[in-house]
Amino acid sequence: MRTCALAITSLFLASGCRGATPATSVPNASSALASPGSCHGTEGETRPLLVEWPAADRAQLEAAAGQGLVAVRYDGCQMQILSRCELEGGYDYHALTQKRDELRIRDRDALWAKIPLGAARLEAALSRDGQLNVDMMVVGQREANVAQARAVGNGAACGGATHVVTAMTVGAFSLYTGRAIQGDVQASAQGAGGGGQLARSTETLRSDGDLARCSAAMPADTQPPAQCGALLRVELAPLGAGGALISDADARDATEAQALREASQRWQGVRRGSRIGTGLTAAGALGAVVFVVVRSAQIASAEFDRDLEARTADEDDPFFANDAERQRAAQRVAELDSDIDRYKSSRRTAGFVGVGLAVGAGALLGLAAGARNRSHTLERRADTLSVAPFGGPGVGGVSIEGRF
């Protein structure tokens, strides 16, 4: 069974689970179904059985499921189908190996734990007959065929939704009462029963489908067999964990907002790259400045040495009369002039490179600032397009979280 999660923000509406106080007299089973009691169900139970639901309600759910995903208002003890709330998507049938299940309910706690929907209406029958029985044959499941969904139209009819039906177990069932006959119970206790089965008085309260016909179901079926497609259990995903039930127009806005956020992320990448480039080019410009300073010092030193050697090579200088010394000094002056020219040439090149790197660093710094501003602008535009949910903060769209 696959898993996905549905997050659609909605309003939790108080449900009338409290009803009139049951009559003191013990009614029959049929009247017990019509007598509401106090609600002891919990909203955390998201896989309620439907076996105590009236046929009209199960028929409404079947019809709604044929039109698309079903939104409901659910509070743990009552579930109302919002048939006017149209959601995109639908349900696909998945056949299963036949599974028979039998529930035997003998106390009030077990009743509320196993059959929370309408359990209040069954309390009187349980109290009178001592036991409720549910025989079920499971042959398949109808599962939601979308991982994301949205409201069709403006979604106004979906304002009261608290859950969406993500899966429905199908097959056949029979809900009936069972009560041991007092005489047989005593005989069995005295050993006179001989291991025989106790006689029981039963009354069928609800049934749907044909348990016998479900035996023809096969795992390869694309649809349940005739008279074996009754709804036994639903799986619900709560709405309101950070999404919004959105209309078509809202969905377009949400799509545009997502595109704007992706563009904003790209500009953030440009900003990060520009900042790295700014650092590198600034470091290069600083290196060029250091190189120019070093070259300037070398040029000054070479010019000083050249001036000394030039005085030595000067024939009018009376201090040196040796011809060999004058020739050596003249040769040294030529070498120093060559070095000075080379130093000046490399200094000019470093100066040009440093200026270029400094200009590049400034340009990249400006690009980083522009990318930051552009990213923030896109984020603000995306925020204005985000769909405001019915019941709390969030971003437009529907994400699924839950089992179906």
Q: Which tens digits make up the pLDDT trace of 122-139?
A: 888 888 888 889 999 999
Question: Based on the domain organization, do 283 and 137 belong to the same domain?
Answer: no
Question: Based on the domain organization, do 32 and 181 belong to the same domain?
Answer: yes
Question: Based on the domain organization, do 117 and 194 belong to the same domain?
Answer: yes
Domain boundary among 214, 246, 278: 246
| 344 inside domain | yes
Q: What confidence score (pLDDT) does residue 116 get? A: 81
Q: What confidence score (pLDDT) does residue 357 get? A: 92
Q: Which residue type, as a one-letter code, is found at position 389?
A: P
Q: Please, are residues 157 and 81 in contact by the beta-carbon 8 Å criterion?
A: no
Under the banding of pLDDT at 50, 70 and 90, the label for residue 10 is very low
Taking each helix axis as running N to C, give the angle between helix 323-385 and helix 248-313, from 0 to 180 degrees, rounded to the nearest 10.
170
Structure tokens at 149: 């969904």
Question: Based on the domain organization, do 177 and 265 belong to the same domain?
Answer: no
Name the residue with higher pLDDT: 45 or 201: 45
Q: How confident is the model over 283-333, as pLDDT tens digits?
A: 999 999 999 999 999 999 988 888 887 777 666 555 555 677 778 888 888
Question: Based on the domain organization, do 231 and 167 belong to the same domain?
Answer: yes
Question: Based on the domain organization, do 212 and 67 belong to the same domain?
Answer: yes
Above 70 in pLDDT, residue 237? yes
Question: Based on the domain organization, do 298 and 159 belong to the same domain?
Answer: no
Select from 248, 229, 214, 244 the least CA-distant residue to 65. 229
β 79-81/230-238 pair status: unpaired
Under the banding of pLDDT at 50, 70 and 90, the label for residue 44 is low
Question: Based on the domain organization, do 209 and 330 belong to the same domain?
Answer: no
> Is 0.75 surpassed by the pTM of this model?
no
Question: Based on the domain organization, do 290 and 237 belong to the same domain?
Answer: no
Name the residue with higher pLDDT: 40 or 365: 365
Q: What confidence score (pLDDT) does residue 318 get? A: 55
Residues spanned by the domain of 169: 3-246
Question: Based on the domain organization, do 240 and 262 belong to the same domain?
Answer: no
Structure tokens at 256: 């545009």
Under the banding of pLDDT at 50, 70 and 90, the label for residue 272 is very high
For the ranges 156-170, 300-314, 365-379, 387-401, the lowest mean pLDDT is seen at 387-401
| 374 inside domain | yes
The whole-angstrom separation of Cα 87 and Cα 151 is 4
Q: How confident is the model over 208-224, as pLDDT tens digits?
A: 999 998 999 998 999 99
Q: What confidence score (pLDDT) does residue 296 get? A: 92
Q: What confidence score (pLDDT) does residue 77 get? A: 78
Structural domain tally of the chain?
A: 2
Above 60 in pLDDT, residue 11? no
Question: Based on the domain organization, do 236 and 304 belong to the same domain?
Answer: no
Contacts of 318 (CB under 8 A, 6+ apart): none
Q: What confidence score (pLDDT) does residue 316 get? A: 59
| 404 inside domain | no
Structure tokens at 286: 């600083």
Helix (H), strand (E) at residue 7:
strand 3-7
| 197 inside domain | yes
Select from 280, 260, 288 the least CA-distant residue to 383. 260
Q: Please, are residues 39 and 120 in contact by the beta-carbon 8 Å criterion?
A: yes
| CATH number, position 370 | 1.10.287
| 399 inside domain | no
| 251 inside domain | no
User: Percent of the chain at pLDDT above 90?
Assistant: 29
Domain boundary among 216, 246, 276: 246
Name the residue with higher pLDDT: 350 or 45: 350
Domain boundary among 219, 246, 273: 246
| 393 inside domain | no
Question: Based on the domain organization, do 166 and 91 belong to the same domain?
Answer: yes
Q: What confidence score (pLDDT) does residue 87 get? A: 84
Q: How confident is the model over 245-269, as pLDDT tens digits?
A: 445 565 567 678 788 888 999 999 9
Q: What confidence score (pLDDT) does residue 155 get? A: 65
